[in-house]
């Protein structure tokens, strides 16, 4: 029993120094100051969220901060990407629909669309409005456009004057003879001592009619203007008509002086007020109206 006690005593004695050494060891947290709610643990500060540093003195302002839509946090503030705003970048920016749109010529952008002033059009007001209603309109056969409508020349119709109006008839209003035989084929004068008593006969076909169409110019000389006998309507303008000249003789038969035949419509180009027809010994200018 005594031995056991001795052993225990010795053991306690041996443990005493370590105990004494331990009781005198310095507390590592004794002089440690952990700020911002940090706690010291074996000499080191254990910091709450958002704080760091040996004394928890560093405050991370971005701790717990959530920046949405790809935003990044700097010093506690969300830096938002283009197109977003708000404390947490949670709000999509209403982009200006007119951004990047240029309206020319005084146009104004409204809701992304250029509102153009008078006289301009197009997405950017860059197109001059066509104020000419005749632009793009073609009038054929000499027609002219006015206010977007073709005014067609005689003989043509249709919106573009490209429709030919059939010629119905030709009215002769006057004939001037500018050349005719001054003598017979034998060289004799038409009348003794004077010029011919000249009249014209006009008839459908290629044969001369002996029936006078015009009055007679007595003792004719120089150009002969026939006004009487007209207006004469040629009802078949696409047919041959004979134009013949006679010397009136009475009681003898009238002398045929000259003549030719032609188709009146052959001279309709441009529907002139007059046209001339001639051969080597006969020349006339025919004054007409073209009827449709």
Give least dist CB 145 to Ca ion, A.
56
- By the rule CB under 5 A, 254 interacts with Ca ion: no
Stretch that binds Ca ion, among 23-31, 63-71, 193-201, 238-246 (CB under 5 A): 193-201
Q: Which residues from 195-234 bind Ca ion, rule CB under 5 A?
A: 197
Distance (Å) of CA 288 to CA 152, 230, 238 = 20, 10, 15
Structure tokens at 186: 């034998």
Interacting span for Ca ion (CB under 5 A) from 105-113, 114-122, 165-173, 240-248: 240-248
Q: Considering only 81-89, 147-155, 192-200, 266-274, which stretch makes contact with Ca ion by CB under 5 A?
A: 192-200
Selected binder of Ca ion within 96, 219, 249, 266 (CB under 5 A): 249
Q: How far apart are CA 118 and CA 105, in angstroms?
A: 10
Shortest distance (Å) from residue 252 CB to Ca ion: 8
Q: Is 31 in contact with 37 (CB distance < 8 Å)?
A: no
To Ca ion, the closest distance from the beta carbon of 208 in angstroms equals 17
Nearer to Ca ion, 103 or 217 (CB): 217
Identity of the residue, 96 or 249, whose beta carbon is nearer to Ca ion in the bound complex: 249
Find the shortest distance in angstroms from Cβ 247 to Ca ion: 4
Minimum CB separation of residue 198 from Ca ion in Å reads 8
Q: Residue holding tokens 């935003």? A: 71
* DSSP letter, residue 267: G
Would you call 273 helix, strand, or coil by DSSP? coil
CB 278 within 8 A of CB 262: no
Among 191, 229, 256, 283, binds Ca ion (CB under 5 A): 191
Max distance between CA atoms of the chain, in angstroms, equals 205
C-beta closer to Ca ion: residue 135 or 252: 252
Reported as type and span, the H/E element at residue 126 is none
Is-cis flag, bond preceding 98, omega within 30?
A: no
Handedness of CA 139, 144, 149, 150 (dihedral sign): negative
Q: How far is the CB of 191 from Ca ion (least distance, A)?
A: 4
- Interface of this chain with Ca ion, residues 55 to 114, rule: CB under 5 A: none
Interface with Ca ion (CB under 5 A), residue from 247, 264, 275, 282 = 247
Separation between Cα atoms, residue 291 and residue 286, nearest integer Å? 15
- Give the span between the Cα atoms of 235 and 239, in whole angstroms: 9
Q: How far is the CB of 196 from Ca ion (least distance, A)?
A: 6
Which chain residues interact with Ca ion by CB under 5 A?
Answer: 191, 197, 247, 249
């Amino acid at each position: 029993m005594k031995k056991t006690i001795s052993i225990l005593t010795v053991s306690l004695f041996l443990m005493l120094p370590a105990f004494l050494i331990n009781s005198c060891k310095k507390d590592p947290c004794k002089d440690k100051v952990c700020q911002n709610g940090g706690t010291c643990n074996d000499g080191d500060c254990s910091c709450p969220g958002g704080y760091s540093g040996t004394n928890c003195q560093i405050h991370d302002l971005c701790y717990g901060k959530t920046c949405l839509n790809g935003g990044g946090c700097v010093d506690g503030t969300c830096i938002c990407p283009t197109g977003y705003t708000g404390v947490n970048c949670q709000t999509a920016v209403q982009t200006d629909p007119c951004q990047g749109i240029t309206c020319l010529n005084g146009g104004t952008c409204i809701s992304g669309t250029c509102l153009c002033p008078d006289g301009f059009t197009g997405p950017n007001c860059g197109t001059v409005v066509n104020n000419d209603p005749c632009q793009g309109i073609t009038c054929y056969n000499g027609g002219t456009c006015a206010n977007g409508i073709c005014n067609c020349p005689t003989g043509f119709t249709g919106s573009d004057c490209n429709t030919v109006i059939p010629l119905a008839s030709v009215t002769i209003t006057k004939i001037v003879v500018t050349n005719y035989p001054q003598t017979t084929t034998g060289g004799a004068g038409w009348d003794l001592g004077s010029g011919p008593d000249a009249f014209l006969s006009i008839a459908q076909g290629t044969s001369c009619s002996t029936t006078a169409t015009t009055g007679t110019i007595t003792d004719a000389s120089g150009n002969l203007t026939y006004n009487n006998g007209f207006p004469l309507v040629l009802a078949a303008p696409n047919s041959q008509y004979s134009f013949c000249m006679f010397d009136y003789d009475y009681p003898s038969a009238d002398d045929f002086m000259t003549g030719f035949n032609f188709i009146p419509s052959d001279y309709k180009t441009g529907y002139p007020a007059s046209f001339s027809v001639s051969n080597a010994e006969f020349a006339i200018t025919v004054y007409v109206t073209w009827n449709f």
